Structure 1
C-alpha cells in the first residue's frame, strides 16, 4: 500500500471512515462528504507529523459541489481514489420522491464516472513517470476502488434504483479495468453486502432480518483484493447469494428478492 495521496468519498462515517482509518499513515488523505463536523473531527484525529489530511464538504448530487470535490482531488494529486459515497431509498419507484430517485443515480453512478474520467489521466501520468525513473520509485501504480454492492447482481423490487445504479457501477468498473489493463493502475469493484453503517437508517430500512458485516472487514478485504482481481464480493454468504442471482431465472430472482425487501419497512 504505497499510495501517496487518496481521495475517499462518503468519508464521514461507515465504510468511508473505515477506509480513512485503514490506509497507512504514510498516505495523505482528502476526505469528502456532507457532514463537515464529522469530517473535521476525523481529519483532526488522523493528521500526524508528515501526514496531511484535508476535507472537502460536498453534496455529490450537486453539480457545482461535485466539481469542487474533483478540483480538490486534482490539486491533491491523488493516486488512489475510493468512490464510496452512496445513497438509496426503500419503496416503490412511483412512491419515492422524484428528486430522491435522481439523487441516487447522481451519487451512485454519475459521480464515480465523472471522478474517474477527470482524475485517471493525471493518475496515470504520475504513475508512469515514477516507473520510468532510472531506479524506479515505490508506489509506481495508481488505484481505483469503486464501492458497488452485492445488490448489483440482480433486480431488487422496492430498492430498484439503488440496485440498478450499483449494477451500472459494477459493469462500468469491470469494463474500465479491462480498458486500462496494460497501464499502471489497479481497478476494483468492491461488492459488500449488508454492512453496519448509517446507510440503512437513511434509506428508510428498519428491519433487515439478517446479520451485517463490520465496515473494517469490508475495507480489509477491499485493500487486499486491489491489484489481484477486478471484482471482490465480501463474505461467502454474499458470494453464494450473488451466484444464485446470476444463474437462476430472472423471474424467480425478482420474486424472491421482493419477498425479502417487502419485510424491510
Structure 2
C-alpha cells in the first residue's frame, strides 16, 4: 500500500472509520463527515508520529458540500479516493419522505460521481508524473445485485454505483489507476439504526474492520469484491435466478427487518 494521501467520505463512523484506521501510517488522511466532534476525535487518534490528518465537515446532499470535499482533496493532493458515505431508508417508497428519498440519491449517487469526476484529472496527472498508481474504492453493497422492495431506492443507488464503477474501470483500464466496487453485506455499523430497520437476526454480520481490510487488499486485484463467501454466493444467485423470484425473496427477507 503506497498511497501518499487518501480521502475517505463518511469517515466519522462505521466502515469509513475502519478504512481510516486500516490505512498505513505513511498515508496522510483527509477525513470527511458531518459529525464534527466524532471526526475531530478520530483525527486526533490517528495524528500520531507527525502523521498529517485533515478533516472536512460537509453535507453531501448539498452541491456546495460536495464541492468543498473536492476542493479539500485537491489541496491534500490525494491519490486514493474512498467514496464510502451512504445512507438508506427501510420502507415503501410511498411511505418514505420525499426528502429522504432524494437524500439517498444525492449521497449514494451524485456525491461519488461528482467527487470521482472532479478528482480524476488530478489523480491521473499525478500518477503519470510520479510513475505511480492512483486508486478509487466505491463502497456499493450486496443490495446492488437485485431489486429490493422496502429498500427500493437504496438498492437502486447501489446498483448504479456498481455498474458505474465497473464501466469506469474498463474505460480507464490502460491508465495508472485501480478502481474497485466494494460490496459488503450486513455490517456491524449504525446503518440499520439510521435506516429505521432492526438488525437482521438470520444474516451473517461482518465487522467494519473486515470490510475495510478486504477492500484495501482487493484494490488493484479485482474490479468487484463481495465481502464474505456467503454474500458472494448470494450475489451469484441473485444474478442467475428468475428476477421475479429474487425480488419476492428480497421483500420477504426485508419484511423481517421492520
Q: TM-score range by the shorter chain?
A: over 0.9
Q: What are the residue-to-residue correspondences of 1:72-221 with 2, within 5 Å? A: 72-131=72-131, 140-209=132-201, 210-221=203-214
Q: Tell me how far 1:207 sits from its aligned partner.
A: 3.7
Q: Tell me how far 1:26 sits from its aligned partner.
A: 0.3
Matching residue of 1:225 = 218
Aligned length: 257
Q: TM-score, normalised by structure 1?
A: 0.96
The gaps in structure 2 that reach 5 residues or longer are: none
- What SS class does the counterpart of residue 182 from structure 2 fall into? strand
| RMSD between superposed Cα atoms in Å | 0.7
Matching residue of 2:48 = 48
- What SS class does the counterpart of residue 183 from structure 1 fall into? coil
- What SS class does the counterpart of residue 178 from structure 2 fall into? strand
* Matches of 2:38 and 2:99, distance apart in 1: 25
Matching residue of 1:241 = 234
* Matches of 2:174 and 2:155, distance apart in 1: 30
Would you say 1:252 and 2:238 are equivalent positions? Answer: no
Once superposed, which parts of structure 1, at least 4 consecutive aligned residues long, lie more than 3 Å away? none
Matching residue of 2:64 = 64
- What SS class does the counterpart of residue 186 from structure 1 fall into? strand
Asked if structure 2 preserves the Cα contact closer than 8 Å seen for 1:81 and 1:143, the reply is yes
* Matches of 1:58 and 1:208, distance apart in 2: 31
Q: TM-score, normalised by structure 2?
A: 0.98
Would you say 1:262 and 2:255 are equivalent positions? Answer: yes
Asked if structure 2 preserves the Cα contact closer than 8 Å seen for 1:207 and 1:263, the reply is no
* Matches of 2:195 and 2:256, distance apart in 1: 14
* Matches of 1:121 and 1:50, distance apart in 2: 29
Q: Tell me how far 1:99 sits from its aligned partner.
A: 0.5
The gaps in structure 1 that reach 5 residues or longer are: 132-139
Q: Tell me how far 1:48 sits from its aligned partner.
A: 2.1
Matching residue of 2:39 = 39
